[in-house]
Structures are given as C-alpha cells and as structure tokens.
Amino acid sequence: MTQKNLDRLTAIFGSVAVVSTTLGGAGVIGSGWAQTIAALSSALTVALARMPATPQQPQPPK
C-alpha cells in the first residue's frame, strides 16, 4: 500500500474516532457504542501508522 493511501486511511479512521466520540457525547448514539467505535478506529489508526508503505513502482514513459 502506498504512503498516500496509508495517510488517507489513517485520516479517515482518526476522523471516525472523533465523530463517534462526539455523537456519543451528544446522545445521538449510545456511549458504549461510541467508545467501542472510537477504540476500534484508534487501534486501526495506530496499526496503519506502523505499517510500512510499499514503494511505488516507476511508471514507464508513454
């Protein structure tokens, strides 16, 4: 996976953690669900941050 894709996924899961915490605090979703979603998203964010990026292969000239 390229560094660009890793960065995108890390940002998405980080945002999901923040949104779920916000929705749980506002009472939109249950606090138990909010904590579970935030914990899973945070764990995925950490796992993605530790994953080495695959170097991009140079594209041949057209």
Per residue of the chain (62 residues), give pLDDT as tens: 788 888 888 888 888 888 888 888 888 888 888 888 888 888 888 888 887 877 767 777 77
Tokens 């606090």 belong to 31
Residue 16: the pLDDT is: 86
Does the predicted TM-score (pTM) go above 0.85? no
Written as one string, the DSSP assignment of 2-30 is -HHHHHHHHHHHHHHHHHHHHHHHTTSS-
Residue 60: the pLDDT is: 75
Angstrom distance (rounded) from CA 36 to CA 61: 48
Residue 42 burial (10 A CB sphere; 0-12, 13-18, 19+): middle
Residue 25: the pLDDT is: 82
